[in-house]
Structure 1
Amino acid sequence: MGVLENKARARLFYKYLSKVYDRINPFIWNEEMRGEALEWLDLSRDDRVLDVGSGTGFGTEGLLGHVDHVYALDQSEHQMEKAIRKFGLHGSVSFHRGDAERLPFADDSFDAIWSSGSIEYWPNPVDALEEFRRVVKPGGKVLVVGPDYPRSQVMQRLADAIMLFYDEAEADRMFREAGFEEFEHHIQQARPGTPRAITTVARVPEK
């Protein structure tokens, strides 16, 4: 387990990263990649959508181009404070402090879940994906963006020491163990030589 796959350390990390996150993020996960992923999620304007690991609101901002209201959840108060300054407390975003592995919502509460740049910090990704399946209505979609496993052995050792990086085979395992039967993976990259993202779109099974 990587050093940041620990909730307390991840919160401390984001306390400081939140100050520069919006300047760093476009080099790894940019608007073009976000737009492509949103097309795969294929939302309707009145869909009830949860953004898990919403951070400073980059994914939330994209979602608001497709739906009228977004429910944003994050465990970092510092990241969330920046998002609240962007969107306000009483507008089109409802903010919730919480844990991806124990979502504070009832079964079948949402039409879709979006989660970008969060899975790499979850100590138990399958537990979180099971929670996603629980709170999304049957037939709804779950989209998860994480860091693709590096190709070089040097970068692999570095990645393993920091947080979760995973390939398509590992993504298959996690989603299957969480009870998903239908899913597809896409590799995205801001530009050649930059880190790659693995984006999985899964459909919640009918009960």
Structure 2
Amino acid sequence: MGVLEDKSRARVFYKYLSKVYDTINPFVWNEEMRAEALAWLDLSRDDRVLDVGSGTGFATEGLLDHVDRVHALDQSEHQMEKALAKFGRRGPVSFYRGDAERLPFADDSFDAIWSSGSIEYWPNPVDALVEFRRVVKPGGRVLVVGPDYPRSEVLQRLADAIMLFYDEAEGDRMFREAGYEEFEHHIQQARPGSPRAITTVARVPEK
């Protein structure tokens, strides 16, 4: 387990990263990649959507182009403060402090979940994916963006020491273990040579 797959360490890390997050994020995860992923999620305007690990609100901004309201959850108060400054407390975003592995919502509360740049910090990603399946209505959609596993052995060792990186085979294992039957992986990249993202779109099984 990487050093940042610990919730207390991740909160400290984001306390400082929140100051520069919006500046460095486009080099890894940009608007074009976000738009492509949003097309795969195929939202309707009245869908009830949860953004897990919403951070400073980059994904939330994109989601609001497709739905009227977004429910945004993050464990970092510092990241959330940045998002609150963008959207306000009475705007189209409802904010929640919470944990991906223990979502504070009832069963079947949402039509879809989006989560980008968050899974790499979860100590138990399968537990979180099970929670996603619980709170999304049967037939609803779950989209998760994580860091694709590096191909270089040196970078693999470095990645494993920091946080979760995974390839399509590991993505298959996690989603199947969490009870999903239909899902597909997409590899995205901001530019040649930049870190790759693995974006998974899954459908919640009918009960």
Q: TM-score per shorter chain, which class?
A: over 0.9
**Map of 2:27 onto structure 1:** 27
One-letter amino acid matched to 1:137: K
**Map of 1:187 onto structure 2:** 187
TM-score with structure 2 setting the length: 1.00
**Map of 1:205 onto structure 2:** 205
Deviations 1:175-194 (A, max 9, x none): 00000000000000000000
- Give ranges in structure 2 of 5+ residues lacking alignment: none
One-letter amino acid matched to 1:187: I
Alpha-carbon RMSD: 0.2
**Partner Cα separation in structure 2 for residue 69 and residue 134 of structure 1:** 21
Question: SS of the counterpart of 1:132?
Answer: helix
Deviations 1:163-186 (A, max 9, x none): 000000000000000000000000
TM-aligned CA deviation for residue 64 of structure 1: 0.1
**Partner Cα separation in structure 1 for residue 37 and residue 135 of structure 2:** 21
The reply on whether 1:49 has 2:49 as its aligned counterpart is yes
**Map of 2:9 onto structure 1:** 9
Deviations 1:123-165 (A, max 9, x none): 0000000000000000000000000000000000000000000
The reply on whether 1:149 has 2:139 as its aligned counterpart is no
TM-aligned CA deviation for residue 11 of structure 1: 0.2
**Partner Cα separation in structure 2 for residue 35 and residue 90 of structure 1:** 26
> Number of paired residues?
207
**Partner Cα separation in structure 1 for residue 180 and residue 75 of structure 2:** 25
**Partner Cα separation in structure 2 for residue 55 and residue 177 of structure 1:** 27
TM-aligned CA deviation for residue 91 of structure 1: 1.0
**Partner Cα separation in structure 1 for residue 59 and residue 162 of structure 2:** 23
Question: SS of the counterpart of 2:26?
Answer: helix
TM-score with structure 1 setting the length: 1.00
TM-aligned CA deviation for residue 20 of structure 1: 0.1
**Partner Cα separation in structure 2 for residue 193 and residue 166 of structure 1:** 18
**Partner Cα separation in structure 1 for residue 91 and residue 111 of structure 2:** 20
Give the ranges of 4+ consecutive aligned residues of structure 1 lying more than 2 Å apart after TM superposition: none
**Map of 1:79 onto structure 2:** 79
**Partner Cα separation in structure 1 for residue 103 and residue 24 of structure 2:** 28
One-letter amino acid matched to 1:205: P
**Map of 1:39 onto structure 2:** 39
TM-aligned CA deviation for residue 103 of structure 1: 0.0
Question: SS of the counterpart of 2:10?
Answer: helix
Question: SS of the counterpart of 1:56?
Answer: coil
Question: SS of the counterpart of 1:201?
Answer: strand
Question: SS of the counterpart of 2:65?
Answer: coil
**Map of 1:121 onto structure 2:** 121
Identity %: 88
